[in-house]
Amino acid sequence: MSKKILIIDDDFDLVEVLRITLEKYGFTVIDAPNGTRGYQLLEQERPDLVLLDVMMTTWDEGFEVVQRIRSNPEIAKTPIIMLTAISQQMGVPYGKNDETLPVDEFIEKPVMPGTLLTLIKKHLK
């Protein structure tokens, strides 16, 4: 059975590029255009990993989604790779920090497919 990845991102073109890449490597992909729908899918579908943008409906929506996920014991351990351009667009340096940003990886867009696949495989072991 293939591993399921949930992409939560409002950039349709990026989602489609990620879908094509991930499906090529045997992953099942589901997606949501915002945090509200993404969280619902996470609860319903129980994906093996989440790729999450920060800036969607609001500039910090992804951060709010991370906090909701980590506070729900049933899904709290789901690996999250935050894939965003917030540092470039907002001029604010963000990165992985277990206390303030409890994600497994924090990656600035654009990301090379090989790098992303390596990180996904690392967190699906």
Please state, rounded to an integer, the average pLDDT across all residues of the chain: 88
Query: In whole angstroms, how far apart are CA 22 and each of 44, 60, 62, 79?
Result: 21, 26, 21, 16
The distance from CA 41 to its chain's CA centroid, rounded to whole angstroms, is 13
Over residues 76-102, mean pLDDT? 68
Distance CA 120, CA 112 (A): 13
Over residues 33-57, mean pLDDT? 95
Q: Which residue has the higher pLDDT, 44 or 105?
A: 44
Reported as a pLDDT band with limits 50, 70 and 90, residue 100 is low
Task: For domain 4-123, give the CATH number.
Answer: 3.40.50.2300
Residue type, 90: M
DSSP code, position 47: -
For 56-77, the pLDDT digits (tens) are 888 888 989 999 999 999 999 9
**Quick check: 90 pLDDT over 80?**
no
pTM of the model: 0.89
pLDDT of residue 125: 81
**Quick check: 3 pLDDT over 50?**
yes
**Quick check: 28 pLDDT over 80?**
yes
**Quick check: 118 pLDDT over 70?**
yes
Tokens of 58: 């609001």
pLDDT of residue 86: 59
